[in-house]
């Protein structure tokens, strides 16, 4: 009770106590006056007899408890005055905490948006569920994800007591033209059941939406995405009733989705259109029986009021089991289903992408916080060591250790609060800005929960890391501290040095990993030459379900020369692709110089379309497709130089022996041409299994016609962009059974890849800069404090004849030693981090040797350490000895 | 020659305060005078020891305090025993009797 009063009525209790002691003194003085003393003498004697009122009052407060309530305002005020006197150190500590807090907030917010939140503009309703289907081919095979057929969907929809509402969709890429006639674009479209928006509880921002009718006639309407409507028509309202052309067919816009809506789930690749499922057959040019014949539907639903997920799961499993033919069941095939939350990760996924990302993100967040906190702690250790004189004096005046610790903790708490507040504010601005400027597939709005969590974490770590130096500082007795403090020996703290080493050690693996990823992005994504990429269209055809593979290949191959007949077309060829990896040796060479190469199938004229000149010999030709004893190949100029130097390569023979364990025959190859390997080659290449770190060496041949039969490159006379809609009409007229899946100029797909790569570079660059900034700020801060503490020593050395530059070099040496120790410790950590990164697939070995990157980063860190040490040392060395010796 | 005051044995001040407050509630100053008088100047307790003891006992709920007007027209803080204080006093008196009896027995041996 008294303790409660001690907190609540502190002032009243203090007043009581003062009055009580005053009364005691008065009574004592009266007694002495009665003995004959003068009033003045009596009062003085009573005071002496009583003792130190202030100390007594402090003791009384200690007994009452809740001293801290009284001390906090005083401690805070003292702390603020201290910060004002040491602006630079305070600024550095606050900056470090702000950086660490801000970075962590961004990381956790983005993680939450990516993996935990509902999709943008989706209402967060517990009853919304996703029905996730799986199938395995045999008893021992792994479960694979599986969609649902319309029969299964209808069976589920019938059971209104379990699913109040249920909707389905499937997604395709379509070519959208309309509004802006100069270029068609490839977009994602979801083909949905008509009740899609209603079932999800999503309100359209314009229009009535899709018609819910019972008949199966194709409903050629669409709901358009908000951003697309704004882009094409200026506003959602204007888009209503407009016609757009999708895969050459007109559709009428009957609704516009709410802003930022992009489907029921995250990561749907931002569909631009929602089209009734009944229209899929004509638009995508598949058989109308796709609904019944294929299990292509993704299903979401809303549980009925009294239905549980377990109940729904039971029903879903029943339905999927019923859909399994007996014959399949007999050979061990199985199907199952689970009803899960809308945002939950799919079940049964061991190598879950979510878990990997979660671990990586958490790891990075913790690493950044750790780096930030070691910074702060080392700075506070240095600061506390520098205040030993002050602390010693206070101990001699009677302050208890607990009191001093409380005061130091108050200081670190204030710093933690300030730093976190700044960091959180910066993160909030950043998130809001990112939301405004990007049509994101995720919901990035700042979340109170995340912010509170990060704030508490930052506060706790800030206080904890402030406590350690506080305890360290008051560990020694007052006498020892007073003896020590005058001589400026405070900078020798082993703890301080240890923190510097820990700083660089921890930063190194992070920077090496980031540097590796950065170099990978930079070297991997070089843009194609604009001259070429703007004049080449890549057409991809949907694989046809019916017919043998050779028939399909024939269909595309026979289309190609007909495309080339068009007046606007310069040439058309199937795209090249890798089909094998082989080891090769130059025939007739004494040594055993061998290389691993990717065999690529290229059609005649391909090199011309992609602007890669043939420097020597000839291109592949149709004659090469005939079986002969030796395979005619076109090799790169780099390989030619490696094998035969400046002597000609044309006519030479390469041997590819059959290797044990590789299921390949031994073949001989004759070089018929050499292409310019310095040119960037577009398109995909299968390089699975190629030795990591080597640039893939490509060898082209027409043998076996092993080029792509589903992708054609068309080189136009003028710019390709405006030609795309015409090209699509042309192809459809001549090959109606070959549905075009996508049609993009190489420039467009390159731009997409490049924008993606730039985004990655920006993010990685920001992370790397942050890590380096944290490391360098911490280093600079500690070292300049250490120099400051040894200012007396510097003054003495200069006074007895040392050159200022010698003194400065002394610090540089010690700083370099600390840096080298840390680098030596960090090296195995970096190697380990790189190994883990490669194993987990976080990084692919880039063309630059990662160890080279590690060395470069080590040099950078060393340079930063040197600069951090040199600048303050030089500053100190330039001060007059008389001035430095005055400093305590 | 008057003997110099004896040092208080540790832990006995609480017992002394409780005992004297049981006899009559009083303020801190009067209590210090009473200790000196009853012990015939053997024990002299200064403010620096007495008040912390009073606050300690009050914090433990063994005594309570209230402000009263003095005959001289001033206000004084008067301490008195609580029920817990009475019980605690009885217990401490018993402990002291046992202790002092044991000590006496030891000191009587040759």
ipTM of predicted complex: 0.89
Q: Assign A689 a pLDDT band (cuts: 50, 70, 90).
A: very low
CA-nearest of A830, A819, A97 to A504 is A819
Assigned token pair, A874: 């030089």
Q: Give the H/E segment covering residue A167.
A: strand A163-178
Q: Do A63 and B29 touch (CB under 8 A)?
A: no
What does the domain layout of chain B look like in residue ranges? Answer: 12-108
Q: Residue-wise over B18-54: b if at least 16 C-beta within 10 A, else e? A: bbbbeeebbbbbbbbebbeeeeeeebebebeebbbbb
CA-nearest of A151, A166, A133, A135 to A316 is A133
Choose the weakest-confidence range: A331-340, A413-422, A873-882, B93-102.
A873-882
Q: pTM above 0.95?
A: no
**pLDDT at position A489, please?**
41
Look at A9 and A641; give whichever has higher pLDDT. Answer: A641
Assigned token pair, A883: 């001035």
Q: Assign A490 a pLDDT band (cuts: 50, 70, 90).
A: very low
Mean pLDDT on A13-32: 90
Q: Write the CB contacts of A882 (distance below 8 Å, at least 6 apart in sequence).
A: A795
Cβ-based contacts of B58 with chain A (< 8 Å) = 2
Q: Write the CB contacts of A516 (distance below 8 Å, at least 6 apart in sequence).
A: A834, A837, A843, A846, A850, A853
**pLDDT at position A304, please?**
92
**pLDDT at position A573, please?**
94
Length of chain A: 888
Choose the weakest-confidence range: A112-116, A260-264, A337-341, A645-649.
A112-116
Which of A2, A20, A26 has its CB closest to that of B28? Answer: A20
**In this structure, are residues A549 and A698 in contact, taking their beta carbons and an 8 Å threshold?**
no
Calculate what percentage of chain A has a pLDDT beyond 70: 82
A107, A453, A455 from A449: Cα distances, Å: 14, 6, 10
Choose the weakest-confidence range: A302-306, A476-480, A739-743.
A476-480
Cβ-based contacts of A49 with chain B (< 8 Å) = 46-47
**pLDDT at position A318, please?**
93
Span A195-206, pLDDT tens digits? 999 999 999 999
Other residues' Cβ atoms within 10 Å of the Cβ of residue A817: 13
**pLDDT at position A477, please?**
59
Q: What is the DSSP string of A185-227?
A: EEEEEEEE-TTHHHHHTPPPSBS--S---SS-S---EEEE-HH
Q: What is the largest CA-CA distance in chain B?
A: 59
Which of B55, B67, B74 has its CB closest to that of A60? Answer: B55
Mean pLDDT on A688-697: 43
Mean pLDDT on A801-808: 81
Look at A606 and A107; give whichever has higher pLDDT. Answer: A606
Grouping H, G, I as helix, E, B as strand and the rest as coil, residue A241 is: coil
Which of B29, B46, B58 has its CB closest to that of A2? Answer: B58
Return contacts of A25-31, CB within 8 angstroms, 24+ apart: A25/A50, A26/B74, A27/B29, A27/B30, A28/B29
Nearest chain B Cα to A29, which residue? B29
A92, A395, A481, A486 from A876: Cα distances, Å: 19, 31, 24, 18
Does residue A59 sit at the B interface (CB-CB below 8 Å)? yes
A378, A453, A460 from A414: Cα distances, Å: 17, 18, 12
Residue with tokens 């540790």, as numbered in its chain: B10
Decide the pairing of beta strands A698-701 and A594-601: parallel
Does residue A60 sit at the B interface (CB-CB below 8 Å)? yes
Burial class of residue A528, CB neighbours in 10 A (0-12, 13-18, 19+)? buried
Q: Give the H/E segment covering residue A673.
A: strand A667-675
Q: Is the predicted pLDDT of residue A747 greater than 60, yes or no? A: yes
Cα atoms in the 13 Å half-sphere on the side-chain side of A81: 6
Q: Is the predicted pLDDT of residue A80 greater than 60, yes or no? A: yes
Cβ-based contacts of B77 with chain A (< 8 Å) = 16, 19-20, 23
Span A545-560, pLDDT tens digits? 444 556 667 778 888 9
**In this structure, are residues A738 and A541 in contact, taking their beta carbons and an 8 Å threshold?**
yes
Specify which residues A168 forms β-bridges with.
A299
* Assigned fold of B12-108: Arc Repressor Mutant, subunit A (1.10.10)
Nearest chain A Cα to B33, which residue? A28
Span A498-549, pLDDT tens digits? 766 777 787 777 777 777 777 766 666 666 778 888 899 998 876 544 445 5
**pLDDT at position A601, please?**
92
Nearest chain B Cα to A27, which residue? B29
Calculate what percentage of chain B has a pLDDT beyond 90: 65
3-state secondary structure A43-79: HHHHHHHHCCHHHHHHHHHHHHCCHHHHHHHHHHHHH
Q: Write the CB contacts of A53 (distance below 8 Å, at least 6 apart in sequence).
A: A21
Strands (E), A193-321: 221-224, 243-246, 249-256, 273-276, 298-303
CA distance A870 to A849: 32
CA-nearest of A630, A645, A638 to A597 is A638
Span A548-593, pLDDT tens digits? 556 667 778 888 999 988 888 999 999 998 888 888 888 776 555 5
Look at A461 and A34; give whichever has higher pLDDT. Answer: A34
Q: Assign A170 a pLDDT band (cuts: 50, 70, 90).
A: very high
Backbone angles phi, psi at A702, to 5 degrees: -95, -5
CA distance A500 to A479: 29
Q: Do A21 and B51 touch (CB under 8 A)?
A: yes
Which of A24, A26, A59 has its CB closest to that of B28? Answer: A24
Mean pLDDT on B32-58: 90
Q: Do B55 and A49 touch (CB under 8 A)?
A: no
**pLDDT at position A690, please?**
27
Q: Do B59 and A63 touch (CB under 8 A)?
A: yes
CA-nearest of A691, A698, A886, A669 to A791 is A886
Q: Do A3 and B59 touch (CB under 8 A)?
A: yes
**pLDDT at position A166, please?**
95
CA distance A632 to A621: 9
Q: Is the predicted pLDDT of residue A858 greater than 60, yes or no? A: yes
Q: Is the predicted pLDDT of residue A683 greater than 60, yes or no? A: no
CA distance A683 to A538: 9
**In this structure, are residues A633 and A671 in contact, taking their beta carbons and an 8 Å threshold?**
yes
Provide the shortest C-alpha distance from residue B54 to chain A (in Å). Answer: 9
Q: Do A49 and B46 touch (CB under 8 A)?
A: yes
CA A400 vs. chain centroid, Å, equals: 49
**pLDDT at position A133, please?**
92
A5, A23, A173 from A70: Cα distances, Å: 13, 24, 69
**pLDDT at position A729, please?**
80
Grouping H, G, I as helix, E, B as strand and the rest as coil, residue A598 is: strand
Calculate what percentage of chain A has a pLDDT beyond 90: 24
Cβ-based contacts of A3 with chain B (< 8 Å) = 59
CA-nearest of A794, A789, A761 to A877 is A794
Provide the shortest C-alpha distance from residue B81 to chain A (in Å). Answer: 16
**pLDDT at position A692, please?**
32
**pLDDT at position A593, please?**
56
Length of chain B: 110
Assigned token pair, A73: 């305002």
Q: Average model confidence (pLDDT) for chain A?
A: 80
Mean pLDDT on A89-104: 87
Q: Residue-wise over A23-49: b if at least 16 C-beta within 10 A, else e? A: bbbbbbbbebbeeebeeeebbebbeee
Residue with tokens 């506390």, as numbered in its chain: A384
Which of B27, B55, B74 has its CB closest to that of A63? Answer: B55
């Amino acid at each position: 009770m008294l303790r409660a009063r001690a907190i609540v009525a502190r002032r009243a209790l203090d007043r009581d106590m003062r009055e009580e002691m005053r009364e005691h003194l008065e009574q004592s003085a009266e007694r002495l006056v009665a003995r004959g003393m003068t009033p003045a003498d009596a009062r003085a004697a009573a005071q002496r007899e009583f003792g130190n009122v202030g100390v007594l009052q402090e003791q009384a407060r200690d007994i009452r408890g809740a001293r801290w309530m009284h001390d906090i305002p005083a401690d805070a005020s003292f702390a603020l005055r201290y910060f004002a006197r040491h602006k630079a150190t305070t600024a550095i500590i606050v900056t470090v905490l702000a950086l660490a807090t801000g970075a962590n907030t961004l990381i956790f917010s983005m993680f939450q948006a990516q993996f935990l939140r509902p999709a943008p503009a989706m209402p967060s309703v517990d009853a919304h569920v996703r029905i996730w289907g799986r199938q395995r081919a045999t008893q021992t095979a792994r479960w694979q994800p599986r969609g649902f057929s319309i029969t299964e969907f209808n069976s589920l929809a019938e059971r209104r007591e379990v699913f109040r509402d249920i909707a389905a969709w499937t997604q395709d890429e379509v070519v959208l033209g309309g509004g802006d006639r100069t270029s068609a674009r490839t977009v994602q479209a979801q083909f949905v059941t008509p009740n899609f928006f209603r079932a999800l509880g999503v309100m359209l921002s314009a229009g009535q939406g899709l018609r819910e009718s019972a008949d199966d006639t194709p409903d050629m309407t669409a709901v358009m995405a908000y951003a697309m409507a704004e882009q094409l028509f200026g506003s959602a309202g204007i888009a209503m009733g407009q016609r757009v052309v999708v895969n050459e067919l007109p559709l009428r816009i009957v609704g516009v989705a709410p802003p930022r809506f992009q489907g029921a789930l995250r990561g749907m690749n931002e569909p631009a259109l929602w089209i009734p499922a009944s229209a899929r057959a004509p638009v995508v040019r598949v058989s109308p029986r796709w609904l019944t014949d294929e299990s292509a539907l993704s299903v979401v639903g809303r549980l009925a009021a009294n239905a549980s997920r377990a109940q729904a799961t039971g029903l879903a499993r029943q339905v999927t089991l019923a859909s399994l033919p007996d014959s399949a069941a007999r050979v061990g095939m199985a199907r199952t289903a689970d009803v899960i939350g809308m945002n939950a990760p799919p079940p049964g996924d061991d190598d879950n992408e979510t878990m990997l990302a979660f671990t990586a993100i958490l790891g990075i967040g913790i690493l950044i916080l750790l780096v930030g906190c070691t910074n702060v702690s080392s700075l506070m250790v240095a600061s506390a060591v520098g205040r030993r004189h002050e602390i010693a004096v206070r101990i001699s005046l009677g302050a208890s250790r607990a009191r001093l610790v409380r005061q130091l903790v108050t200081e670190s708490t204030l710093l933690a609060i300030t730093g976190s507040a700044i960091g959180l504010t910066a993160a909030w601005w950043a998130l809001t800005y990112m939301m405004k400027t990007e049509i994101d597939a995720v919901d990035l709005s700042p979340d109170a929960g995340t912010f509170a969590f990060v704030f508490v974490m930052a506060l706790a770590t800030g206080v904890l890391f402030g406590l350690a130096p506080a305890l360290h500082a008051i560990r020694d007795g007052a006498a020892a501290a007073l003896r020590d403090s005058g001589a400026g020996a405070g900078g020798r703290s082993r703890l301080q040095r240890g923190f510097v080493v820990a700083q660089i050690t921890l930063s190194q693996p992070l920077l090496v990993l980031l540097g590796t990823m950065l170099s990978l992005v930079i070297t991997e994504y070089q843009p194609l030459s604009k001259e070429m990429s703007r004049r080449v269209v890549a057409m991809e055809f949907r694989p046809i379900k019916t017919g043998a593979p050779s028939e399909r290949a024939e269909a595309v191959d026979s289309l190609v020369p007909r495309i080339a007949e068009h007046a606007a077309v310069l040439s058309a060829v199937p795209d090249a692709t890798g089909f094998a990896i082989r080891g090769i040796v130059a025939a007739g060479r004494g040594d055993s110089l061998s290389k691993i190469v990717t065999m690529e199938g290229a059609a005649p004229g391909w090199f011309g379309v992609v602007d890669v000149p043939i420097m020597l010999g000839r291109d592949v030709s149709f004659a090469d497709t005939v079986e002969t004893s030796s395979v005619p190949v076109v090799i790169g100029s780099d390989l030619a130089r490696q094998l035969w130097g400046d002597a000609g390569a044309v006519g030479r023979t390469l041997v590819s022996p059959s290797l044990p364990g590789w299921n390949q025959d031994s073949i001989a190859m004759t070089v018929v041409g050499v292409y310019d390997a310095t040119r960037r080659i577009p398109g995909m290449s299968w390089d699975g299994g190629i030795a990591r770190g080597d640039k893939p060496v490509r060898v082209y041949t027409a043998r076996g016609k092993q080029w792509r039969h589903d992708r054609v490159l068309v080189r136009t006379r003028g710019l390709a962009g405006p030609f795309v809609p015409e090209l699509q009409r042309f192809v459809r007229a001549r090959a109606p059974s070959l549905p075009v899946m996508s049609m993009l100029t190489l420039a467009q797909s390159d731009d997409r890849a490049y924008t993606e790569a730039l985004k990655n570079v920006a993010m990685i660059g920001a992370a790397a800069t942050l890590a380096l900034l944290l490391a360098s700020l911490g280093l600079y801060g500690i070292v300049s404090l250490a120099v400051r503490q040894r200012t007396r020593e510097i003054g003495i050395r200069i006074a007895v004849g040392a050159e200022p530059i010698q003194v400065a070099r002394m610090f540089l040496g010690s700083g370099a030693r600390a840096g080298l120790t840390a680098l030596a410790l960090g090296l195995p950590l970096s190697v380990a981090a790189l190994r883990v990164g490669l194993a987990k697939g976080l990084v692919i070995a880039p063309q630059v040797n990662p160890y080279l990157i590690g060395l470069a980063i080590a040099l950078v860190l060393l340079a930063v350490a040197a600069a951090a040490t040199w600048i303050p040392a030089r500053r100190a060395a330039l001060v007059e000895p008389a001035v430095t010796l005055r400093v305590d | 020659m008057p003997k110099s005051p004896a040092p208080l044995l540790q832990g006995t001040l609480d017992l002394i305060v409780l005992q004297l407050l049981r006899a009559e509630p009083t303020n801190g100053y009067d209590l210090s005078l009473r200790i000196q008088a009853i012990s015939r100047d053997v024990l002299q307790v200064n403010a620096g020891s007495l008040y912390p003891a009073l606050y300690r006992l009050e914090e433990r709920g063994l005594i309570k305090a209230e402000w009263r007007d003095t005959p001289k027209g001033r206000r004084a803080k008067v301490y008195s025993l609580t029920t817990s204080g009475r019980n605690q006093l009885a217990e401490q008196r018993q402990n002291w009797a046992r202790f002092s009896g044991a000590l006496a027995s030891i000191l009587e041996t040759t």
